[in-house]
Amino acid sequence: MASSSGNRSNKNGASSSHPLPPITSSRLYIANKAKEILATRDPTGINKLVTNLCYAKESDESSSLLYNTFKNHFPNLLAVKLIHAYRFMTTTAAFPSSSRSGLRAYPLELLTSLLIDVEVSNVALKTEALKDMKEHLNACLVEQETSDREFKLLSRIVSRVSVDFFIESIPWEELSSFIVSLNDKKMLLMFVELPTVLDEGFLKPLLENDLAFKIVKALFHQDDEEWCLALEAGFNLMLQLINLERKDLVWDSVYAIVSSVWEMVNVRKRDMVVRKGLLRLVRKVRGEAMRFRGREYEFVSRLALMIKRINGLGDDTKVAAKMIHDVLDRYYMGGTGLDSGFVQGLIGMHSA
Domain boundaries, the chain: 21-170, 171-352
Distances (CA, A) of 70 to 38, 108, 189, 207: 9, 16, 31, 41
Cβ atoms of 337 and 293 within 8 Å: the answer is yes
pLDDT for the residue 293: 87
Nearest residue to 61 via CA among 33, 99, 30: 30
Q: Is the confidence at residue 16, as pLDDT, over 60? A: no
Weakest-pLDDT range from 105-109, 202-206, 343-347, 348-352: 348-352
Question: Of residues 197 and 74, which shows the higher confidence score?
Answer: 74
Contact 137, 83 (CB under 8 A): yes
What is the average pLDDT score of the chain?
Answer: 83
HEC letters along the chain? CCCCHHHCECCCCCECCCCCCCHHHCHHHHHHHHHHHHCCCCCHHHHHHHHHHHHCCCCCCHHHHHHHHHHHHCHHHHHHHHHHHHHHCCCCCCCCHHHHHHHHHHHHHHHHHHHHHHHHCCCCCCHHHHHHHHHHHHHHHHHCCCCHHHHHHHHHHHHHHHHHHHHCCCCCHHHHHHHHHCCHHHHHHHHHCCCCCCCHHHHHHHHHCCHHHHHHHHHCCCCHHHHHHHHHHHHHHHHHHHHHCCHHHHHHHHHHHHHHHHHHHHCCCCHHHHHHHHHHHHHHHHHHHHHCCHHHHHHHHHHHHHHHCCCCCCHHHHHHHHHHHHHHHHHCCCCCCCCHHHHHHHHHHHCC
Gyration radius (Cα) of the chain, Å:
25
Q: State the pTM of this model.
A: 0.78
* pLDDT at site 327: 95
Residue 340 has pLDDT above 50, yes or no: no
- Asked if the model's pLDDT at residue 164 lies above 70, the reply is yes
Residue 228's pLDDT is: 96
Asked whether the beta carbons of 115 and 157 are under 8 A apart, the reply is: yes
**Quick check: 315 pLDDT over 50?**
yes
Count of residues for the chain? 352
pLDDT of 11 strictly over 50: no
Of 55 and 111, which is predicted with more confidence? 111
